């Protein structure tokens, strides 16, 4: 199967996981409702079922041939699914829309798969153009959203009351999408099962359960806001002044042109939209990462501004982008003036937020102990083993270590890790630490952030700090994010963007890169069996994001760390308690319905003693 669909992780070939194959075999044997979240997973199941039920049924309907129908909510999606089936099979597809009803009998006779909406199928059944005896497979997309549709109810009742009931398969979102409110899951399952007269099914293979059910140790780490320095206030005021100018800016082409050009004018984008987004991104970096990262963000946005100036065909857009260029050059000049007497390490630590400091402290627990040539025996003996621990700030200082059950073992390594990016030189193999995948103490981690721009700037920070801080020399970071329309439009080829993304993931799997900064693109769709460190730099906004991020940590004794601001820790701890309550209730509830969920409950630890009673 070769199709990108809407999934950001592009693959030239699709390899299903064990639980997907298990669900496919279950769907071949009985009527079920399948809970799969990704388009590729649902399409794999649907295509394989259609191919299976089309075997020995390709003859004409008049000669006893059977047909499969695919029910979707809207006609646009019907057209897309019909195209996928045509591309991935040799079956003839009939997209049932309003224009097909007149010549339906002739088209239906030679078609193998019908794709359409419940309204169209209800009309065809009412007119006796579509009979239940001609159908052997019914697939309902987003069945959990369609159970109140009167047309779908009529279609289902027609098939369920016939003598030879066709195979009925419902496609729904993952079970955890129904857990936004505790207690809602049971009601939703009962409602869907009653409407389709079949069971909700998830994988129950024990090997699949073990493989895809990590149990990382979980920590909540606080950070304080810290004091804002003069440079922070200067940069913020500079940007706020530019934002105020953009808000006061007036752009109305209708004052110049007549109504004759109204349609063309409507296609012109708002000239302040992109500059305003860039200013908001910069303020977010300044607030969460600090002035040093804001300086790098200004440089990145400066490059983006120059690209947009080349692309834009409109004069007003070009002028506002020139203004953005002036703002970012001014910001860079202010930072250069402040940083000129400091070393790079001092710049990073003095002009980064406490949140960044906490991140770097946590990463230092993975610092390998190695011997440099310049070290003397006395220096070797005096190596500080306490850097294997990370201390969190609360009312009582509590430390945590990755090796609580066993003593710290000193390991000798040679050379330094270096970053890999277009703006950084690749180091020779002899300069790297040995990349043994069997060593549990080697870092193989993922840091999840909410915004792609944050991931990019955080990558620049880690790439720079590993060159100047001896405790972080082992870091080799990369980042992967969703590609927005502007980036893809400027790229030579969309395929090149996907190729770059696949290369990043490949280097992470073979441990050329040991730390990956990513957005929600990696919450699903990637397996990293030896990943031993996952951090949520931004607290997860919902249960789905929480459980998907945590499930990326698949190694033994893996860590799952959530950073929370100290002043709002009570609210975040309460939210985490709700997530864990839902996580414990889901398997129990599903077992009541004879369904075994493939996600197990990880053991969790909250380092702040005053909040343990909440959990």
Q: Is residue 471 in some structural domain?
A: yes
Mean per-residue pLDDT for 567-591? Answer: 78
Token output for 95: 């997209």
261, β-bridge pairs: none
Structural domain count, the chain: 3
Overall pTM > 0.75: no
User: Exposed/middle/buried for 442, CB within 10 Å: 0-12, 13-18, 19+?
Assistant: buried
Q: Average per-residue pLDDT in the chain?
A: 75
User: What whole-number percentage of the chain has pLDDT above 90?
Assistant: 22
Does 8 have pLDDT greater than 70? Answer: no
Residues 319 and 234 in one domain: yes
Q: DSSP alpha helices (H): ranges in 66-117?
A: 75-88, 104-110
Return the pLDDT at 322.
Answer: 93
pLDDT at position 16 over 90:
no
pLDDT tops 50 at residue 448: yes
Helix or strand (DSSP H, E) at 468: helix 452-468
**Of 611 and 581, the one with more pLDDT:** 581
Q: Identify the pLDDT of residue 581.
A: 80
Beta carbons of 181 and 221 less than 8 angstroms apart: no
Average pLDDT over residues 316-345: 92
Residues 599 and 615: their CA atoms lie apart, in Å, by 20
Helix, strand, coil shares of the chain as percentages rounded to 5?
50, 10, 40
Collapsing DSSP states into helix, strand and coil, what is residue 586? helix
| Predicted pLDDT of residue 178 | 53
Q: Which residues have C-beta within 8 Å of that of residue 405, sequence separation ≥ 6?
A: none
Q: Which of 156-165, 243-252, 521-530 has the lowest mean pLDDT?
A: 521-530
In this structure, the answer to whether residues 243 and 140 fall within a common structural domain is no
Q: Is residue 429 part of a domain?
A: no
**What integer is the mean pLDDT of 413-436?**
39
- Indicate if the pLDDT at residue 559 is higher than 60: yes
**Cβ-count burial of 29 within 10 angstroms (0-12 exposed, 13-18 middle, 19+ buried)?**
exposed
What's the pLDDT at 175? 58
- For residues 341 and 78, give the distance between their C-alpha atoms in angstroms, rounded to a whole number: 63
160 shares a domain with 246? no
Residues 33-70 pLDDT 10s: 887 767 777 888 888 888 888 887 788 888 888 888 99
* Angle (CA) 84 88 92, round 5°: 80
The per-residue pLDDT for 390 is 38
Residue 606: inside a domain, yes or no? no
Tell me, what's the pLDDT at 221?
92
Q: What is the CATH number of the domain that holds 76?
A: 3.40.50.300
Mean pLDDT (whole number) for 564-575: 90
Quick one: 161 and 134 in the same domain? yes
Is residue 136 helix, strand or coil?
Answer: strand
Confidence of residue 591 (pLDDT cuts 50, 70, 90): low
> What pLDDT sits at residue 354?
93
The total of other beta-carbon atoms located within 10 Å of residue 64's CB is 11
Residues 178 and 289 in one domain: no
Question: What is residue 353's predicted lDDT score, i.e. its pLDDT?
Answer: 93
Pick the range with the lowest mean pLDDT from 389-393, 447-451, 520-524.
Answer: 389-393
Q: Are residues 22 and 161 in the same domain?
A: yes
Residues 68 and 185 in one domain: yes
598 inside domain:
no
- Is residue 297 within 8 A of residue 260, CB to CB? The reply is no
Among 337, 309, 312, 335, smallest CA distance to 323 is for: 309
Residue 339 resides in a domain: yes
Same domain as 109, residue 165: yes
Strand order in the sheet with 515-518: 217-223, 559-565, 533-536, 445-448, 515-518, 477-480
Nearest of 105, 85, 107 to residue 94 by alpha carbon: 107
Same domain as 199, residue 143: yes
Tell me: the pLDDT tens digits for 100-110? 677 787 888 88
Place 304 in a pLDDT band, splitting at 50, 70 and 90: very high
Percentage of the chain with pLDDT > 70? Answer: 71
Query: In terms of pLDDT, which residue wins out, 17 or 275?
Result: 275
Q: What local confidence, expressed as pLDDT, does residue 332 receive?
A: 94
Residue ranges making up the domain that contains 243: 230-252+268-352
DSSP code string of 567-608: GGHHHHHHHHHHHHHHHHHHHHHHHHTT---S--------S-
In a domain, 3, yes or no: no
Q: What is the pLDDT of residues 318-328, one digit of tens each?
A: 999 999 999 99
- Per-residue pLDDT for 130 more than 80? yes
- Distances, alpha carbon 298 to alpha carbons 44, 328, 483, 612, in Å: 43, 5, 20, 42
Tokens of residue 503, six digits: 């290369």
Whether residue 149 lies inside any domain: the answer is yes
Q: Is the pLDDT of residue 75 over 50?
A: yes
Is the pLDDT assigned to residue 471 strictly greater than 80? yes
Q: Which residues contact 167 (CB under 8 A, 6 or more apart)?
A: 27, 28, 31, 49, 53, 136, 137, 138
Place of tokens 């100047």: 468
Q: Is residue 84 part of a domain?
A: yes
pLDDT at 361: 93
In terms of DSSP bridges, do strands 389-392 and 398-401 run parallel, antiparallel, or are they unpaired? antiparallel
Amino acid 439: pLDDT? 56
Model pLDDT for residues 149-195, shown as the tens digit of each residue: 888 888 888 888 888 888 888 888 765 555 555 556 666 777 777 77
Say if residue 203's pLDDT is above 60. no
**The pLDDT value given to residue 370:** 53
3-state secondary structure of 257: coil
Residue 213, pLDDT score: 58
Together in a domain, 106 and 238: no
Query: Tell me: the pLDDT tens digits for 204-247?
Result: 544 444 455 567 888 999 999 888 889 999 999 999 999 999 88
Distance of alpha carbon 8 from alpha carbon 489, whole angstroms: 16
What backbone torsions phi and psi does residue 470 show, to the nearest 5 degrees?
-60, -30
572, 220 Cβ separation under 8 angstroms: yes
In sequence order, what are the beta bridge partners of 93? 113
| 173 shares its domain with 288 | no
Query: Does residue 196 sit in the same domain as residue 328?
Result: no
- Residue 295 pLDDT class (50, 70, 90 cuts): very high
pLDDT of residue 506: 84
């Amino acid at each position: 199967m070769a199709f990108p669909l809407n999934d950001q992780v592009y693959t030239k070939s699709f390899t299903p996981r064990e639980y997907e194959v298990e669900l496919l075999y279950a769907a071949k044997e009985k009527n079920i409702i399948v809970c799969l979240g990704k388009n590729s997973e649902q399409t794999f199941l649907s295509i394989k079922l259609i191919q299976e039920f089309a075997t020995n049924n390709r003859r004409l309907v008049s000669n006893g041939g059977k047909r499969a129908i695919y029910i979707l909510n809207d006609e646009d999606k019907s057209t897309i699914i019909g195209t996928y089936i045509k591309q991935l099979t040799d079956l003839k597809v009939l997209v049932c829309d309003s224009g097909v009803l007149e010549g339906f009998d002739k088209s239906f006779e030679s078609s193998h798969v019908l794709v359409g909406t419940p309204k169209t199928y209800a009309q065809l059944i009412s007119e006796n153009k579509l009979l239940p005896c001609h159908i052997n497979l019914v697939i309902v997309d987003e069945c959990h959203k369609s159970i109140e549709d009167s047309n779908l109810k009529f279609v289902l009742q027609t098939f369920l009351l016939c003598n030879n009931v066709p195979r009925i398969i419902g496609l729904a979102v993952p079970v955890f999408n129904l857990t936004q409110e505790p207690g809602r899951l049971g009601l939703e399952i009962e409602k869907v099962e009653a409407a389709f007269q079949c069971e909700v099914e998830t994988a129950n293979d024990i090997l699949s359960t073990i493989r895809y059910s990590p149990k990382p140790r979980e920590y909540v780490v606080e950070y304080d806001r810290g004091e804002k320095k003069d440079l922070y206030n200067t940069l913020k005021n500079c940007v706020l002044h530019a934002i105020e100018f953009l808000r006061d800016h007036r752009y109305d082409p209708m004052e110049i042109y007549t109504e004759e050009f109204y349609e063309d004018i409507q296609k012109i984008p708002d000239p302040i939209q992109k500059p305003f987004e860039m200013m908001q991104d910069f303020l977010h970096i300044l607030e969460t990462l600090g002035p040093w990262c804001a300086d790098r963000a200004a440089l990145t946005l400066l490059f983006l501004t120059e690209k947009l100036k080349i692309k834009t065909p409109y004069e007003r857009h070009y002028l506002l982008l020139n203004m953005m260029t002036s703002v970012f050059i001014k910001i860079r000049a202010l930072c250069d003036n402040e940083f000129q007497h400091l070393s790079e390490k001092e710049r990073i630590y003095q002009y980064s937020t406490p949140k960044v400091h906490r991140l770097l402290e946590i990463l230092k627990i993975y610092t390998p102990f190695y011997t440099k040539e310049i070290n003397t025996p006395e220096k070797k003996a005096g190596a500080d083993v306490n850097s294997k621990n990370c201390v969190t700030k609360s009312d009582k200082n509590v430390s945590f270590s990755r090796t609580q059950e066993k003593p710290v073992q000193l390991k000798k390594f040679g050379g330094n890790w270096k970053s890999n990016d277009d703006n950084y030189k690749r180091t020779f193999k002899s300069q790297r630490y040995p990349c043994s995948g069997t060593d549990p103490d080697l870092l193989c981690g993922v840091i999840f952030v909410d915004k792609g721009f944050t991931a990019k700037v955080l990558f620049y920070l880690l790439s720079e700090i590993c060159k100047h801080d001896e405790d972080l020399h082992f870091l080799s970071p990369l980042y992967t994010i969703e590609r927005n329309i502007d980036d893809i439009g400027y790229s030579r080829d969309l395929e090149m963007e996907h190729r770059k993304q696949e290369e990043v993931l490949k280097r992470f799997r073979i441990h050329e890169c040991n730390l990956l900064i990513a957005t929600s693109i990696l919450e699903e769709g990637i397996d990293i069996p030896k990943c031993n460190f996952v951090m949520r730099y931004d607290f997860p906004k919902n249960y789905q994001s929480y459980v998907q991020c945590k499930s990326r940590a698949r190694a033994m004794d893996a860590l799952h760390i959530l950073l929370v601001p100290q002043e709002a820790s009570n609210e975040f701890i309460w939210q985490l308690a709700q997530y864990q309550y839902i996580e414990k209730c889901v398997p129990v509830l599903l077992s009541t319905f004879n369904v075994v969920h493939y996600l197990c409950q990880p053991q969790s630890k909250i380092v702040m003693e005053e909040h343990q009673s909440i959990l």
